[in-house]
Structure 1
Amino acid sequence: MKNILQEVFETLRDFLSVNSPEQSHMLTVYANLDQANPLNRKERPAWLIELKNTFDNLSEEQKNALMTFDGASLTWNGIEEQIISTLEQHEAKGRSVVVFTDLSDTVVIDLPLPVKTGVYYGIPQVKHMLSQLHRYGQYLVVLFSEREHRTVFVDVPTLVSEGTLQSSLGEGIFLRPGGNKTRTQASERRNLDTERRMLREAAGEINDYFMDEPLFDRIVFGGNLKIAHGVKNNLHHAVAEQLVSIEPIPFDATDEQLRETVSILADEYEAVHDLALIQELILRGETCGRAASGMDEVMDALQNGQVRKLYLPYPMDADDFDTLLIEAVLENVEVELVHGIAAETLREMGGVGAALYYVIR
């Protein structure tokens, strides 16, 4: 999911760098174009009705401001028709879109999940998109048995879909037989060598599979715990770092059981991870000064090119974040949303924090 967010920010940055966002004369439109929704396949689609109602609910002051973009005289009907025409011509690749336009140049960005239909004038509204794209991420769950392994993809907190891990281990991963007093030491060694080879091959497949699928953010192992631990010990270190937990999940667990288990693990992981990030930010500030907090301090650091990563609380509703986010997009700064106790701590620090490359003394 982080890769999707990065691509979206790159597209937006290219557009904003040409279209002077500091003038605050931008129209931002969010709409649900999802063609999987049968109501959107009607002659008068649901997204169009929602959007027209949203346009109608704008105040006269907002409409007047929209009709004087860059000093040009535009009728309200003309603005509305231009936006609708843009959306009708767009071949949606996701379930919703966001449009950024100054009514001269326009960019349309596909979003993977539904959004609240909205029309905004002024500073480009990025926080809605960021909140929509921000997820705990795609979890790859691998369940092991002595004869096969099963993979399930869990997009937390959305849907579960099962996939198949193409395996060269046609008969699965076998544990060494136990309790047979008649076997020889030679056969014991052969069984042990075979088991180790199979564990290495299984780990190799998971390494390749995970690295080839950049949408996956985390891994969970389940099923036969002895096999799971054996495969873990053979993972590439970059993949092992993404292994959140090994859990006693039944091999034949239902989608609902998997969804519930992974959601709990994701909540726990993100809570600990986020709090560690904020504690590290505090320590950076106290020990070497390479941290900033509060709107004014962070904005100054952004404009000076000091910011390595920007931290914001989730959910974020304050309009104060709009200008900050645009500056972060333009400066190509990574944005991290934190939750729970970490978000509360960040709000107490002034609502926003930043890790810095260097300190200006």
Structure 2
Amino acid sequence: MTVRGLLRRLVPPAEGPAATPWPRVQPKAMTLRRLLTERYGPLGVALAMIAVILLAGFLLPTSQHLASLMVTVPATTAALAGSRVTAVIAGLSCGGALILDAYDGLLDTSIFAVHLLAILLVSGFVIGFRSLRERNIRELTEVRTVSETMQRILLRPLPPRMGSLLIRSAYHASHPHALIGGDLFAAVRTADGARVMIGDVKGKGLPAVEDAAALLGAFRGTSHRTLPLRQLVADLEANARSYFSEAAMVDPDAVERFITVLVLEVPEGAGEVRMVNCGHPPPYLISPQGAGVVLPQRPAPPLGLGSVHAEDYLVDTFPFTPGSTLLLYTDGTYEARDAEGRFYDLDTRVASWPGSTPDELLSHVLSGLTAHVGGEMGLDDDVAMVALQPGPAGSPRTQGTGAAR
């Protein structure tokens, strides 16, 4: 089950932070690369090179003609700055060559013309290539902006609160240039509470994103209806089958795809959670009494392999009172390996959580996961997590805390 490295980040709604940012190592000092490429760095490097070449030309005998070295200045500048700065430096390099050749007495010879011609030709080539590169970067930026917008539309940020239910989420896509992959989550407000879904699509790449988008659309369109939870899951199964059948017309492998999902219903003020688990990793329930997974009495097959009849699904119900926290996650969390091939011990990490809020829980799990794999780039699978906690009813601005363990 898969696809990569994020959310990485999700844009939080104005009401509060719904997504926990992925832990990142912040540099303590400006790196050499930033020093050379930002602001006046490229101009300073070019001027320093011209000064060094001029100084060496004045110190060496006039028989040593160093004006030809000026061609290296615009070539170096093009790697650090834009075409305009490179053009300015090319003009200064021609001036430097003029000074050196005048000092060496070469203005009346063909050598001076060769030096200027070399600088102009090299400068013209590097400025042209730099202009093409800048245009490609602009086009790529525009394409990525549109792509990110579409991805954010598909995987919307979860609201920080639905009624008294506090919600926090985190996401990391396995692909280095994607915001979403085959993992998914969604939450919708219902007449008597909230419904939350987390899932994992079989496969990677664009087909996984398409499968995730199809399921998210079906869930959002169905969950608002006043259907029993088991009927909702049966409808999702019917939608998944229909989608996979249509996809198989152009992709024969679509008939082998499926989606594991966990669907929760949290009635407002009921102090309980109703759950249907379709082949997904069981959630963690953390309370003042301890932490453990909530195993379904009879797990259903993943979507695409299950039944379209509501009576075939069993709804599990368990307590969810103030002071408790639920952690939903995908298999990319506990299947992450370190350099020695050891899996991430999610059980121990969750059990050692010392905090009390959903934000603290996600930060605790994410920091341990990032350290285990040696940094965010060490993750080669999607990771999605959602933390839920019942907050005090009737005070939507209250953040709500559970009992510290």
Alignment TM-score, normalising by the size of structure 2: 0.27
Q: TM-score, normalised by structure 1?
A: 0.29
Tell which has more relative contact order, 1 or 2 (C-alpha 8 A, sep 6+).
2
Q: Whose radius of gyration is greater, 1 or 2?
A: 2
